[in-house]
């Protein structure tokens, strides 16, 4: 997709939200759609619910946090970066937890009392931590598995607390249209980490690989 010109069917084109620059709008489609579907269609996020967004700093996570705030949920995040947690707090997130701390789940339970909905992109063995902090009847939606498959799964916690664990990815045409309408209604602004020229595309990918970004990286012809 890194081309100066592309041919696409006309029904794939939508109006840019008027409050966004072209660079900000370029950061929206895939990450925004993935977050919106995970949060609304699969997660059924409701006003007043306690929501945890893991790995804040990545594109999908930052959209999920902003969307959840727009839905009037009580939003918390986790990250390995204190700077990223501070950025989240500046957006209106209630609290953040550094998942590098061994006792982060105890801290989360003490401060939030558990979560009704958790949006995760890592999976792996950390899924058991999410099961631990989920409220009875809670939902865990994961859209990625950057940590791979879990080595074990605490099945008893899942059925005893009647948890729902769901997978989600991208979204439908209807999801996309609803996401755009929501972005317009709430004037949501994608967090753009940095804009690179095509000539510096390798630098952009290196930055993403190193996990240094806060939000989306945009390439501009």
- For residue 88, give the CATH number of its domain: 3.40.50.720
Task: Please state, in angstroms and rounded to a whole number, the distance separating the CA atoms of residues 178 and 53.
Answer: 21
Would 211 be classed as within a structural domain?
A: no
Would 69 be classed as within a structural domain?
A: yes
**Is it the case that residue 1 has pLDDT exceeding 80?**
no
User: How many domains does the chain contain in total?
Assistant: 1
**How many residues are listed for the chain in this entry?**
221
pLDDT tier for residue 7 given thresholds of 50, 70 and 90: very high
The pLDDT, as a whole number, for residue 202 is 94
Q: What is the mean pLDDT of the chain?
A: 92
Would 10 be classed as within a structural domain?
A: no
Would 23 be classed as within a structural domain?
A: no
Domain that holds residue 39: 30-191
Span 170-197, average pLDDT: 94
35-39, 92-96, 122-126, 182-186: the lowest-pLDDT one: 122-126
Phi, psi of 142 (to 5 degrees): -120, 135
**Is it the case that residue 212 has pLDDT exceeding 80?**
no
Would 1 be classed as within a structural domain?
A: no
**Is it the case that residue 145 has pLDDT exceeding 90?**
no
The pLDDT, as a whole number, for residue 116 is 97
Would 43 be classed as within a structural domain?
A: yes
Task: Please state, in angstroms and rounded to a whole number, the distance separating the CA atoms of residues 198 and 156.
Answer: 50
Q: b/e map of 43-71 (b: 16 or more CB within 10 Å)?
A: bebeeebbbbbbbbbbbbbbbbbbbbbbb
Phi, psi of 214 (to 5 degrees): -120, 95
Would 15 be classed as within a structural domain?
A: no
> In this structure, are residues 84 and 214 in contact, taking their beta carbons and an 8 Å threshold?
yes
């Amino acid at each position: 997709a890194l081309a100066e010109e592309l041919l696409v069917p006309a029904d794939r084109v939508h109006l840019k939200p008027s409050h966004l620059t072209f660079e900000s709008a370029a950061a929206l489609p895939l990450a925004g759609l993935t977050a919106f579907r995970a949060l609304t269609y699969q997660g059924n996020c409701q006003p007043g619910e306690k929501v945890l967004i893991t790995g804040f700093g990545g594109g999908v996570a930052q959209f999920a946090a902003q969307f959840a705030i727009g839905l009037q949920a009580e939003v918390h995040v986790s990250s390995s970066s204190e700077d990223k947690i501070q950025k989240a707090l500046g957006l209106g997130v209630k609290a953040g937890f550094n998942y590098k701390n061994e006792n982060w789940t105890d801290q989360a339970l003490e401060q939030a009392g558990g979560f009704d909905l958790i949006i995760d992109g890592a999976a792996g063995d950390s899924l058991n931590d999410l099961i631990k902090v989920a409220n009875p009847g809670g939902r865990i939606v994961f859209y990625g598995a950057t940590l791979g498959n879990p080595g074990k799964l605490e099945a008893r916690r899942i059925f005893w607390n009647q948890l729902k664990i769901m997978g989600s990815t991208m979204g439908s045409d209807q999801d996309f249209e609803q996401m755009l309408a929501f972005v317009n209604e709430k004037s949501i602004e994608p967090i753009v980490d940095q804009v690179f020229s095509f000539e510096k595309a390798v630098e952009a990918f290196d930055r993403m690989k190193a996990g240094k970004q806060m939000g989306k990286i945009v390439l501009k012809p």
